[in-house]
Structure 1
């Protein structure tokens, strides 16, 4: 019986390793997904990322109606003061462009801003498997996804990814 238990534990360990593996590159569909700029223009994720090639990027997926996002904003501002060489990209899931722009101004959110017009039903959202916001990701200087998922701006994994 003990041998069966050990075998079962071994099999579960082997299969669970792949389940938790995070992607290191965006899918082509996610890279081709489009966002709206503050000026009302459309831009794809690939172009946004290429603009900052060679830099560390923190992506913050948020909305001005999200209380957890608002609680996280002071922590993001702390990160911005500590890691000034990092590019901060905010992707909004607000319910409309007016609310998005009002939220940026009201909460004094500094960084690059893009609106996810398709919301949670788009290739980017599918790729990152948005199940909660705020959602933080870190892209390293090589353009790889260093941190796929954090839901708190003071998560030790997020800070560690920014230090690399």
Structure 2
């Protein structure tokens, strides 16, 4: 009985995928659209905030859970004013994205993902649910790879570091 238990534990621990510390080249080279309609790669988005803690919020205006989480994100923005808030939208179009930002009064840096969940960035992040939160520390390392609630203790702890 003990050997079966140990086998199961070792099987699951060996198959757990390691959490990446940095973004892949493909993810960094993936392109997004700015509010002004310009194209920018993800590397440039991160470089604009080099040396700062970054919270990435992957969301869409049609996503009920994303909208429900927005007041929690606003609470984080009040508590952690020195953090940069980057919102990456999976909306179905640029107009819906811009309307959502205005309707829900989303404050931060905004980028649209024109390829949606079929792009190198989404593949790297393995988007299986939104909202999706990530934290990048001041050294540019991925501090938190995945949280799906803005009040997740892991998210709050990552922002405190």
User: Which interval holds the TM-score relative to the shorter structure?
Assistant: over 0.9
* 2:79 corresponds to which of 78, 82, 89: 82
Counterpart mapping for 1:1-164 below 5 A: 2=1, 4-9=3-8, 11-16=10-15, 19-164=16-161
Provide the alpha-carbon RMSD of the alignment: 1.2
- SS of the aligned residue for 1:46 comes to helix
Aligned length: 161
Q: Any gaps of 5 or more consecutive residues in structure 1?
A: none
**Alpha-carbon spacing, 1:4–1:60, altered in 2? closer, same or farther (3 Å):** same
Matched position secondary structure for 2:107: coil
Determine helix, strand or coil for the equivalent of 1:58.
strand
How far residue 81 of structure 1 moved from its aligned partner, in angstroms, is: 0.3
Larger radius of gyration: 1
Give 1:8 deviation, angstroms: 1.4
CA–CA separation in structure 2 for the residues paired with 1:109 and 1:7: 48
TM-score, normalised on structure 1?
0.94
Q: Within 2, Cα distance between the matches of 1:72 and 1:6?
A: 39
Q: 1:4: Cα distance to partner?
A: 3.2
- Worse overlay, 6-15 or 104-113: 6-15
Partners of 1:77 and 1:3 in 2: how far apart? Answer: 49
1: CA distance, partners of 2:116 / 2:12: 35
9 and 62 in structure 1: CA distance in 2 versus 1, 3 angstrom threshold: same
In 2, Cα distance between equivalents of 1:80 and 1:10: 39
Supply the distance in 1 between the matched residues of 2:49 and 2:59 (Cα, whole angstroms). 21
| Helix, strand or coil at the partner of 1:43 | strand
Change (3 A) 1:24 1:105: same
1:14, CA displacement in angstroms? 4.1
C-alpha displacement at 1:21, in angstroms?
2.2
- The CA distance in 1 between the partners of 2:6 and 2:157, in whole Å, is 35
Deviation at residue 12 of structure 1 after TM alignment: 1.9
